[in-house]
Amino acid sequence: MELVTTPRVTFLRGLADEILQHYGRGRMIVAIDGPLRSGKTRFADDLAAVLRERGHRVFRASMEGFHRSREAQGDFGEDTPARYYRYGFDESALRRVLVEPFRMGGSTAFVTSVFDPSRDAWVEPKWLTGPADAILAIDGRFLLRPRLSDLWDFRIALDGEPVDPADVLAYAESDPRLVASAVVDDREPEHPRRRFFDSC
């Protein structure tokens, strides 16, 4: 279905064309990182809609669906920003039930969420399958951290200075804008624009 053309949709179409120019076939994963409340989920949803408009099968996931429970986080010490940054998410589950099976093409089912942080409870896994050519768009904090960054084919960082203490730690270790394939200023959602950062 063709989307209504707005400045936001026009921008996202250009970004989608850039992504598809490099990764138009097979399974690919696009990750959207950014500080707390930077609009990652909306941006990922809107980008997924534009990629679907281009005729691709697109799945959505969020790191929010791979939180550790509060009890499990307690195994790593006191409740601090450092603990949340390092251990707040179950990266093993992310790899095991989502990233690795998704990468296997159409031969294996995958799960896009295992946990509901609002209820601090596990959710019944929904195993999904898709065609050999499919795209996964995942949003979340810390996705472009060094130990996860190589999992993604295309890396998007939403621009913005970290304010939350856990984000401050993350950006001090590795600013996602410096490893991103594209940096987007989405602070005016109806008029997003590209930013360019020099990592040298």
User: What is the per-residue pLDDT across 109-166, written as a single tens digit (0 to 9) for each?
Assistant: 999 999 999 999 999 999 999 999 999 999 999 999 999 999 999 999 999 999 999 9
What is this structure's pTM?
0.94
Mean pLDDT for the chain? Answer: 95
User: CA of 138: how far to CAs of 6, 14, 36, 172, in Å?
Assistant: 23, 19, 15, 23
CATH class, 19-140+151-173+181-193 region: alpha beta
| Structural domain spans, the chain | 19-140+151-173+181-193
DSSP state of 68: P
